[in-house]
Structure 1
């Protein structure tokens, strides 16, 4: 339903707009019954103190899986909006977001958008056990940063809503170097020139200050581009300075502007959550519901699919698979849906009509000579999902046409024996034709 979008879910079963990929899976009334009764916790055991009680078990099952994923060096924390305009005490309004109304989730991810942890905003942000209370925004960073190993030298990025000197000190005590934009009123002990003074000196002007808080050295830089930007870090500084291009309205051409290293690092590695939002927005599940936990559930399905696709791309790159042969997000999501629809189907059932491939025609000839085990259809053989070779205790005839060999290897999904050795590779040939 996220790939083929229709205004109402009932239209997938209607005569005018019937979509076979949806309507053939289950009846319409069955779909509406499942959506109506789906729950993630026992309503009789209500917990009035937990606003996320209805999806608490879903959150508790997802977080360990996200936190167990291997982490890159560069990590970022930012807020994410789950679009929702219904009535809910959890609903937030952020005017600068693409989706202004919805639920707010704080996400820890890498530069490509791979999620490692998240925290749903429910009105309060208490500090994690054993950590100082440094305010609501800082407590969120400390809570999400619990999954970061300080000894691995991960670098953490966040924006000015989270940043404070106390947060930089708390992260440094955990062994986590950090970098982020900072509001000027939170930089106690560091004084910078006003924007008007820096504007007179020209674009690219910057100032650098150093502060030591609880024996932690923090460097702060103010850089003037179109306006002043304050950035602080426990591992980076203004040097080395690089040149970037900016459009000059008066000269009507691009000019070179000096840019400190701390600004370059922030712009390069801070956009992880924005990348995640863009990937989810391509094929978001749009199913209307008045129940707030349905919107969370559909969002987590989208998040898990994007995470799976990013891990798939990472594995393909490690195996040197060319990008042209890798599935894009649309093909990856469609293959997941197709594989889930095949669960529980009887692959041995006979298909009406003429065989659609040479393999099936040859197999029909073999059946006339005597009883043989059925083989799956071409759609199942070539879906490239779950076809793994495994060793059987019995040796049987190879089911690939015109092969007279005997083998103990069989496909775990198709449940047929196929030759797999240095002289023959009927396993690959059977799943490609």
Structure 2
């Protein structure tokens, strides 16, 4: 037991000081200035202990309501009850209460130091089904008609791709590539680069088309695409580029305006200083351009999803991460904002640069970061959601995310911006209410009759489909038992909506699997239907992903951006053809367009008739000439007369037959006037005469 000095245990601060500090800290977190001379409640002094504060507040509230003071309530300062113990004895008796209160204060202080949101004091209330809450979700405000903005959109696949990876991007790549090669030749004049000439937009588009071909025509080595053997080679790539020219463009392809930085030069030092602030500055402009074009290419829907995607890279770079829970375990972690169908609207590489909240005003101006991107949020994952959803706030959209991003402070912040949040949380999150709710009647195995909201449901004691809900104004916490316990934190959705029935498989009485209907909260069903959008985008991107492995870290990010542009263009094309087919205004096939057919058509339009060759490639396929049937005037089907002879082609067809079941060949008196070959009568068996003419044509050709 710690010694007591002046009625307080040594090593613990006064509870009132902790409360005042926390109140000031909470006000400063919200941008409020601390009140130095804030008035206290009646009967509360600044130096009172936690027990004195609690008793005085309870007594004051009871007197305001007209109630008599409690018998055991502590007296206000200045009054001494008759027969009361001395102050030292009462402090000694209440020592454990003070220690417990101080320990609780330290837990709250520790949580706030770790930037966790403490909501233990929030007025959580249980949700009553079918109740009309004051915070009803407002209807989504669509920015215009669904589908593409351009009503007279072209039916060509290239037009959809050019809306995302537009001509400005192509010209930018051409300019950076030519600048990089020109400065490299100037720095290394003795380097041999024969037959090099500056590239142009037409050649670069053909190069990108050949890279897309390599995504669905997989060969073990780049040189195999120019192979002349029967088991390798791709004719489209061979006729478009010679191997040497293709490797030149692949080597010197550049997308940074800095150009070539010679070793030891001042330009290299300046570039390294810039990379310390933005570690993906080489591909930053292309990424932002494609993101902006993706947002403007189509109208954004109501449901948005924030999740992470992995870009494979096994080289050495500071941004490379290891995530054992992902199929791609090594690579760059990209934070992605996507629509429900997998259309990627915005993304950012994790750890590429500091948060705008941590930048100075000069650094924000240098990187083009606006003041609107600076948020009052404490947690970094919450800041990511704010930055990604910033262009789409204000129209009552619903943002789905997982437990890494979900936070009560983020939900309140987005709700103030007319945007709703639905996300899972961990069961030990500080944002959850600490109210206690009754357990269903099946919990009769010696457990207490109540259970904290944060604790997991006991196994075999809670039926499948059981759920509880609490709300604090617009913020709602939902807990639902499926095979595991799912906890959601959300705003704006219909928390009082009736449950829906979902189908689940369970073990039957005989040991087999049976299907059963399980009640599920409406907001949980909404989350399950939309939160896999980023996984769907990864699936579309990885189906025909292209890009050669490289030790240069920025190459993998560039191929990721280009693959993302192709997938977004395909999703726009698929929505366009589906809408046109439904309206039946144009002659477009009703069947669903596959991504492979879209990529093949896009490649043909990107390459066109371009060829960087001076002569035909080696091992070219044979030229197919149109077949012109020769006019055979000398062969005539004539009647010869008796004696009859067996038809040559009937006998040939029966040679493989043996035994008594072998039929006899047809006897005929007809033959060819030139060949003197016996052939069946045309009116009876025309196939024999047709076979004879085909045989003669083959001999002539």
Q: What TM-score, normalized to structure 2?
A: 0.47
**1:245 equivalenced with 2:503 (yes/no):** yes
1:186 is paired with a residue whose SS is: coil
Aligned 8 A contact 2:294 2:344 in 1: yes
Say if 1:126 and 1:133, in contact at 8 Å, map to a contact too.
no
Higher deviation after alignment, 176-185 or 321-330: 321-330
State yes or no: 1:142 paired with 2:370: no
Provide the residue aligned with 1:424 in structure 2.
Answer: none
Which runs of structure 2 are paired with 1:126-137 in the superposition (5 Å)? Answer: 126-127=356-357, 129-137=373-381
Aligned-pair distance for 1:219?
0.6
Question: How far apart, in 1, do the equivalents of 2:299 and 2:610 lie?
Answer: 32
User: Judging changes above 3 Å, is the alpha-carbon distance between structure 1 residues 245 and 353 closer, same or farther for their aligned structure 2 residues?
Assistant: closer
Alignment correspondent of 2:415: 172
Q: 1:189: how far off?
A: 5.3
Deviations 1:236-271 (A, max 9, x none): 226311222222225332222211111100001111
TM-score between both structures, scaled by the size of structure 1: 0.75
Judging changes above 3 Å, is the alpha-carbon distance between structure 1 residues 329 and 336 closer, same or farther for their aligned structure 2 residues? same
The aligned residue for residue 230 of structure 1 is 487
Q: Considering only CA atoms, is the larger Rg found in Structure 1 or Structure 2?
A: 2
Contact 1:182 1:231 in 2 (8 A): yes
Q: Which has the higher strand share?
A: 1
Residue in structure 1 matching 2:534, options 237, 248, 273: 273
Alignment check: 8 A CA contact 1:126 1:136 kept: no
Q: Is residue 15 of structure 1 aligned with residue 228 of structure 2?
A: yes
- 1:333 is the counterpart of 2:599: yes
How well do the aligned residues superpose, as a CA RMSD in angstroms?
A: 2.3
Cα 1:56/1:233, change in 2 over 3 Å: same
Residue 372 of structure 1 aligns with which residue? none
Among 272, 284, 287, which residue is 2:545 paired with?
284
Matches of 1:168 and 1:339 in 2, distance apart?
46
1:414 alignment partner in structure 2: none
5+ residue gaps, structure 2, are 1-213, 262-266, 358-371, 435-452, 583-587, 613-622, 629-701
2:299 paired residue number: 70
Corresponding residue number in structure 2 for 1:158: 401
Q: Match of 2:349?
A: 120
Q: Is the 8 A contact 1:221 1:238 kept in 2?
A: no
Q: Work out the CA distance in 2 between the residues paired with 1:300 and 1:343.
A: 26
Task: Give me the whole-angstrom Cα distance separating, in 1, the residues matched to 2:589 and 2:313.
Answer: 36
1:325 Cα deviation from its structure 2 partner: 4.1
More deviation in 172-181 or 315-324? 315-324
Question: Aligned residue for 1:208?
Answer: 469
Alpha-carbon distance in structure 1 between the residues aligned to 2:516 and 2:552: 53
C-alpha distance after superposition, 1:152-175 (max 9, x if no partner): 322111111100001101111111
Give how far 1:82 is off. Answer: 0.9
Q: Secondary structure at the match of 1:82?
A: strand
**Once structures 1 and 2 are overlaid, which stretch shifts more, 24-33 or 324-333?**
324-333
Shift of 1:180: 1.0
Q: Distance in 1 between matches of 2:377 and 2:471?
A: 24
Unaligned runs of 5+ in 1: 347-351, 358-433
